[in-house]
Structure 1
Amino acid sequence: MLSFRVKEKAARIRLLALDVDGVLSDGRLYFAEDGQEFKTFDTQDGHGIKMLQGAGIEVAIITGRTTQLVQRRAANLKISHLLQGREDKLVALRELTGELGIALDEVAYVGDDWPDLPAILAAGLGVAVANAHPELRARADHVTTLTGGRGAVREVCDLLLNAQGRYEDALAPYLDTGA
């Protein structure tokens, strides 16, 4: 059950910022002999992102690594705010919010490990995925019940839509059977 404080913070969110490894993916890195890299992404996470975008909430990816896989995933989801190769996630987040005219207290940031901690602490709603490092789970405003790469992002998307009274509107087109 969500606390009133988390619901109140979630109601103000205008930007969802996400780490990749351990958040959008399960955190494992797969390499083939030829050096090709593989990741898995959860389709329900992707759909949740699309629902947020449809509700007018911006989505960004901020990651320390740089890969074409992430660029392709961002393009598939029409995420235009992709910041790769950014080890200092808070600096990247501050730059992005400045460009967008969004205050840090209007940001939800989702992470899983120490490099995400400064952004989680600065964001209006700091979220750790269920399998995040214990230091993040202890300091985040909210911890998901699902793990990174396995529905945690969708859980956060649903939380934001519910807190902002937009969940039923997002669901309605799927309930219309045309009968």
Structure 2
Amino acid sequence: MTPEFKERARAIKLAIFDVDGVLTDGKLYFLVDGSEFKTFNTLDGHGIKMLINSGVRTAIISGRKTPVVERRAQNLGIQHLYQGREDKIAVLDELLGELGLDYEQVAYLGDDLPDLPVIRRVGLGVAVANADSFVRQHAFAVTQARGGEGAAREFCESIMLAQGTLEAAQAAYL
């Protein structure tokens, strides 16, 4: 973790996640009846829960809309869910107005071009390892893990490490 990453991560009060390609592997699964399902990584989920418990607010902004994401957000305790919203900057501005936060207090984890405006605007814009190459090029940092394979956990733990809350969260399991 670079000193600049640590400095930016210390200021984070809100962590925002994209879904497809970040909390999932990016594949879309459709059943014969037209319904959709997604697979999520339990390590990512527990990382998000630990981040919430450390005092960082969380949100999901997704261009797609599916009941599965609503259920996952509820299960994890994610406080703010925005689905079917392709203009992610508009959602970000709306959310910051509601919470009284500044861009520098926000971290965002994304993978594709629709995420790029937010990645570039927030204090800590991060791309997953298998993100689009243009997105990786313009992100402040890139995870080592791929989307849906621990990238969200890595993102959460890096914020907690910078904020000094990771060790206590892990020690609770000893």
- TM-score (norm: length of structure 1): 0.96
Q: Does 1:59 align with 2:58?
A: yes
Aligned to 1:110: 109
Separation in 2 of the partners of 1:19 and 1:66? 12
Distance (Å, rounded) in 2 between the aligned partners of 1:168 and 1:74: 25
Give, in whole Å, the separation in 2 of the partners of 1:94 and 1:170. Answer: 31
TM-score, structure 2 length as denominator?
0.98
Q: CA deviation at 1:80?
A: 2.2
Supply the distance in 2 between the matched residues of 1:151 and 1:82 (Cα, whole angstroms): 21
Q: CA deviation at 1:136?
A: 0.8
**Retained in 1: the 8 A contact 2:64–2:83?**
yes
Residue 153 of structure 2 is matched in structure 1 by 154
User: Following the alignment from structure 1 to structure 2, what is the Cα–Cα distance between the partners of residues 11 and 78?
Assistant: 22
Identity of aligned residues (%): 57
Structure 1 residues without counterparts, runs of 5 or longer: none
2:5 paired residue number: 6
Deviations 1:113-156 (A, max 9, x none): 00000000000000000000011100111100000011000000
* One-letter amino acid of the structure 2 residue matched with residue 130 of structure 1: A
CA distance in 2, matches of 1:96, 1:26: 26
CA RMSD of superposed structures (Å) = 0.7
Q: Where does structure 2 lack aligned partners over 5 or more consecutive residues?
A: none
Distance 1:168 1:79 in 2: 22
Residues 1-179 of structure 1 correspond to what in structure 2 (within 5 A)? 2-175=1-174
- Count of aligned pairs: 174
